[in-house]
Each structure stands twice: as C-alpha cells, then as structure tokens.
A and B are shown apart, each in its own frame.
Chain A
C-alpha cells in the first residue's frame, strides 16, 4: 500500500510527465502493486494473469498527463467482471485470449508477455487487435438502437471494452480525464473549448 501511495503521489504531484510513465518498469511496478491489493472472491485469475491484466489495461489506457487504467483501479474491475459477470463462454474466450497472447509472444520474441519491453507488448497486443478485426459479429439491424452483449466477441474487443468502461466510470476517469458535473443547473450551448473535454456522463 505504501508503494501504491508513493506512485499515486508521484503522479498526483505532476511528476508523471517527467517520468517515462509508460516504461515497462513502471508499468510492471504498477501492475505488481495492483496485484497485491486485488481481492476478488472466487477469482479466475492467477497471479500471472492478474499482472498481465494490469499491464494490458495500462497499455490500453496509459498514464499520460492524467492517470491511466491502473491508477483508476481498472485491473481489479476487469478481474471482477471476468470472474463474476462473464458467462462461462465469455470467460473462456478471455482467459484463452490471454494464453494465446502469451503463446504469440513466445513465438515472436521467445519470451512471456510480461517479460517483454513495452514496444514488443504493444506489437503483440496490436496483433490481437488485428485478429479481432476479422471477427464478424452477428448481424443485428437494431443493435445501434439497443446495444446488446455479444458473447462471442473476441478477446481484444472484450478486454478493450472492460478497460474502457471501467476507466471512464471510475472517479479518476470521470473527473480527471473527462469532466463531470452532477449539478449543471442549466442547459445551454457552449463552444467545446470552454470545457475542452467531453462529459463523462
């Protein structure tokens, strides 16, 4: 917890910008930190999957001039959703996706995903995105009206969706990355530059 507070303090203090915040060392440190604090009942993640999930979340929404996915608590959210909320079929796709990613890393770089540098991790994840792009979702003319869950969506899409909704629903994502105003008191048109970010809700 001390380490987490330290990292949090560094970033809150604006030092994040001068550190190489997306360097593998820090991402790994952040991931390790998250790993210690995860407490999901009936989790389906082992320690290595937990760390992998944290690194993946941070790759999708990294720390920039605002906190990234780890700081926002996204890895624990993803772990909870995969463990508790997913159907068995979805869970299998997700866990198998992590294994496939790891196998792909061995094939390409002769090393596990977690042991790679950030550049190689990004390449490996991009490959997953390319694979996901070939997926044909079931045809549904009404899905733009009523969003439906696609149980069979591929690993990358599942991962990205959980990271994104977890991040922008988090207090960090809603208030620091985007803007949040629970009590606008009026409705009016504004130039976008007046706020500079989109509303979180």
Chain B
C-alpha cells in the first residue's frame, strides 16, 4: 500500500468535465496529471482563425468536399465544422469508429486539448426534479441516485465561475441560476414571446442561458459580440476549458497536462480493488507509457470513457472495468432533434441589429409538467422537449437566391437585409433503453491497436411522438405570433447528431443495475470516478454540459475528502 504513485490523481480528458476535474483537484492541493488524446491548444495563441475577416476565409466559405468526404465524413455534419474550425476536430479517417450505415450513429468529436468545450453552442440549463424523478415516475431507466437539492449548490458554484448570462423566470422545471445580465431579445423575439405567453399561459419564451459573459468578471472579459465563438475567444468571455478551467488548474502549479496522449486502458489491481495505473500511447510516436495515481477521473466524453472501460479487461472484470452489472455501454441516449418550424415575420423592416449575439431564445418544456405517472391527459408521449431558436433578418447569404435578376438593381437590392425570419427547433428527451448501446468491435482496431467503437442505437416511438408534437406546437406558436409562410419540419435525425450523447456508465442506487454511485464513483472500484456524459441516468431535454460540470465539481469535492482522510 506504500507504493509511490506518479501523481495523486489522473484526469483523462481535458474538455468540459476534465477541465473542471483538473481545476478542482489542483485547487485542493493534489498533484494532477491531465491526459488528452488530441493535440495542444493554447489559449489565445492557438485561436488561429479568431476574427479572421471574410476575405481570408478559404473558398469564400464553401466546403472542400473531396477532403471532407475522405477525412471528415462524420465531423463535417456538425454545425460548427468549417474551414475556420476544422483544426479542432477529429479526423475520421485517422481515428475511425465502426459506422453501420444501415443504423448509423454520428460520433462527433474534437481532437484537441479543450475538446468540444471549444466548439459547443454554450447553452446551459439546470436539470430539475422533473428530470431527476422522471425514471422513477414512468419506469423507464433506473432511478437517479440524486435529486435536485444534491446538485443545486454545485450548479451555482459552476455558474458563478464559468459566467452565465440569462434571465430568471421562476420556473420550477427550469430552475434559475447565478446569472449575469441577460442578452436582449430582439424586437421580433419580444413579439413572439408576448403572443405565445398570451395564447398559452403555461408556455414561456426567454433569452437563452449561455456560458458567455455579459459582464467582465472572473478575470475575463465580457462578450464583444464578434460572432463565431467556435473559432476561439481570446478574452475568454465564452467558457471553454482552454480559456477558463485549465488556466485555473495551471495557476496552482499542481497540473501536468499532456497532449497527444491516448489512453488505452486502466490497470486494475485485484488485491487492492483499485485502479492503480493508466496505460497511455503517444499519438505521434505510438510509444507506450504507464502512469500511476491514487485517484482516477474519467472525463474523456461519454463514448470515449466507456470505450476505455470496456477495453480495460481483467480476470475480475472480463467484460470491462467496473462492469459487474453488465450495463456498461448500455442506455446510450442523445436528444432527438429535428422537430420544429420556421416562418417569416412581417414588418419591422426599419429595425436592424448591431453586433452578433452568440445566443438565441429558449422555450422551456411545457409538456407533462404535473403528470402523475408521466402523461398529461390528451398527450400521447412521456416527458417533453424544449425549443431553441432565433429571430434574424435574412442576409445576402439567403437573399441572393431569392432575388431574381442581376446588375445594378440586384446589387442594390442586396444592400438591404431581407425580412425577419423566426426559427424554433426542439431537443426532445430520449428515453433510457437498454437496447441502445455502444460496444467494442471484436476485430476492427484503430491505429493504436485499440478496438473500435460500434453503436447500436435508435430513437423509439416516444421520441417520434415528441417530435411530432414539437413540429405541431412550433407551427401553432408561430401562427399565433403572426408568422407567414410557415414551414414546419420533422427530420428523423441520426442519433449522435445532437452531440448530447449521454449514458453508457449510468449512476444508480443499485450496484447490480448501474455502474456509478451517487458520487459518480464506480460501485466496483473505489478510486475510479466517471463524471462526463457517460454517468447520466436520464437525458432530460435540456443541454447537458452544465450538469456534467456540476457533477464533476461535486464528485471531486467528495473524492478529495476521501483522499485527505486516507480512505483512498
């Protein structure tokens, strides 16, 4: 037991969750190794396309199609993927997974320090007890081992530090947080809000709650409204681990951050019942190394974390580490998106917008809020959905195709922006289902010799009904708001496309049916914590990153107590 460890703790992954684990562990005084499979991104210095003017954007924004088809067939489907951000993304050819074209799953990944915290849409919403009690209420999935009161103070702790702008609404199912001043709604959004709230007293429209500072705080700047946050934000108004949590960890002097370090698996010591080492492959030289620590935090992202666990086999755990329950890899979820509507809003052609607001509107869930057993009368689905949207004046990018002719009149017509358009699209909750899973391929390996990930996941009848309703209600709301030329949509999206993949190592009370306990600690392995999306027991319909961060801070606090009392 007196074996000297290389580090007190190892954090695998440097993104949304890993950054928080690193910061909290380092600030508690532990010596921490952070392992990141992607390449180094230094805050500011490596935001090579930040503020790039339009005339320097390659191909005037057109996609190099041959390259994308060859190297980025999956990543190029992401909204944030283009020639100004490609350097942050995974190369699908170099780092493949097994993609079943008959039943596809889109695994969207970054391949840099900071991970997807550099590329997210920055929307942050709290889960509520409507979410934490959902599985228990309707019997799908296992009951969460925590309730809102367990995580509430950690939400506040995280929000205050990352900097969240938003409007308090006093809704029990979308709890308010620690908000900086909200970004304003536009004239059209205010009109739509008034119309919806008048027609449907139980529905609300609020400005998005986003991890972009509107006040200079926390030693960081406030938003300068330049637009594309995903190119990097050197004033760190927008939250990313590269700009915020990793520098905080760095300041303690306790962090060692290694990029290009692919974790192959964890070594389990049967005598101690603990993980004692992490096996690492250098992404460039393919040299193998082994690092030991007393405490391990897996924060590699939902799929990558479970891939590591499944690939960590031992006599004690022949089906993957911490998998005595057999549920590791199962209950994979991703919000069903693709239901909504868009419409043109007449008038207000004399109103225009100064600045790019990196945020939209939010219409919180309004279905099944009070339902005993999960369904309100007249509703044919469980759970609910929330809309994200935006009003915008159509720019030349849209209008040139709708403006006939050419020459002086055409050119001068494009000097004015087009009419206002209002868009709303839903994220619907994905019921936890054991049949939705990821696993390792028996034969296919990646360039490091690590078995590739396979997926077998789909949306079910409930998600389909949620989307149908989301399409219908979006249309109704746009209609009452006075929209014209309303076009509803109901796209059957590929699982993974919402980039909210969750589950596969779920938390639960029962060690026979879950992987992690109420502190994100593996039931089977006392020094192993998983705090990224893999831990999620249900998916809610709100964007999940804030919950990963709060659970991470909470789990670290618990783990540090154990560490300091010698229990590890």
Interface positions of A (Cβ within 8 A of B): 22, 59-62, 64, 68, 77, 81, 85, 87, 122, 125, 129, 141-142, 144-145, 149, 160-161, 164-166, 168-171, 174, 177-178, 180, 182-201
Q: Is the CB of B353 within 8 A of A169?
A: no
- Beyond A60-B407, A62-B408, A81-B59, whether A198 also contacts B416 by CB under 8 A is yes
A81 and B354 contacting across the interface, CB-CB below 8 Å: no
Contacts of B349 in A (CB 8 A): 192
Bound-state Cα–Cα, A168 to B61, Å? 11
On chain A, the residues within 8 Å of B411 by CB distance are 61-62, 64, 68, 177
State whether B491 touches A184 (Cβ < 8 A). Answer: no
Of A145, A166, A183, which is within 8 A of B60 by CB?
Answer: A166
A–B pairs, 21, beta carbons within 8 Å: A61-B410, A61-B411, A62-B411, A81-B62, A85-B62, A129-B404, A142-B489, A142-B491, A168-B397, A169-B61, A184-B224, A185-B355, A188-B353, A189-B351, A190-B353, A191-B350, A191-B352, A192-B417, A194-B354, A198-B415, A199-B417
Residue in B55, B184, B351, B400 whose CB lies within 8 Å of A164: B400
Which residues of B sit under 8 angstroms from A60, Cβ to Cβ?
406-407, 410
CB within 8 Å for A178 and B55 given contacts A184-B355, A189-B351, A201-B227: no
CB pair B64 A161 closer than 8 Å = no
Interface string of B179-209 (1 = CB under 8 A from A): 0000110110000000000000000000000
Q: How far is the CA of A138 from the CA of B119 in the complex (A)?
A: 32
Q: Which of A62, A165, A184 contacts B354 (CB 8 A)?
A: A184
Interface contact B396-A178, CB-CB below 8 Å: yes
Partner among B53, B406, B408 whose Cβ is within 8 Å of the Cβ of A182 = B53
- A183-B407 contact, Cβ under 8 Å, with A178-B415, A189-B353, A190-B353: no
Chain A residues contacting B354 (CB-CB under 8 Å) are: 184, 186-190, 194-195
Given A61-B411, A168-B396, A180-B54, A141 and B352 contact (CB-CB distance below 8 Å):
no
Within 8 A of A (CB), among B363-417: 393, 395-397, 400-401, 404-408, 410-412, 414-417
Most A CB within 10 A of own CB, among B54, B342, B410, B417: B54
Asked if B183 and A187 make an inter-chain contact with CB atoms under 8 angstroms apart, the answer reads yes
Is the CB of B562 closer than 8 A to any CB of chain A? no
Q: In the bound complex, how far is the Cα of B411 from the Cα of A129, in angstroms?
A: 16
Q: Nearest CB to that of A185 among chain B residues?
A: B224
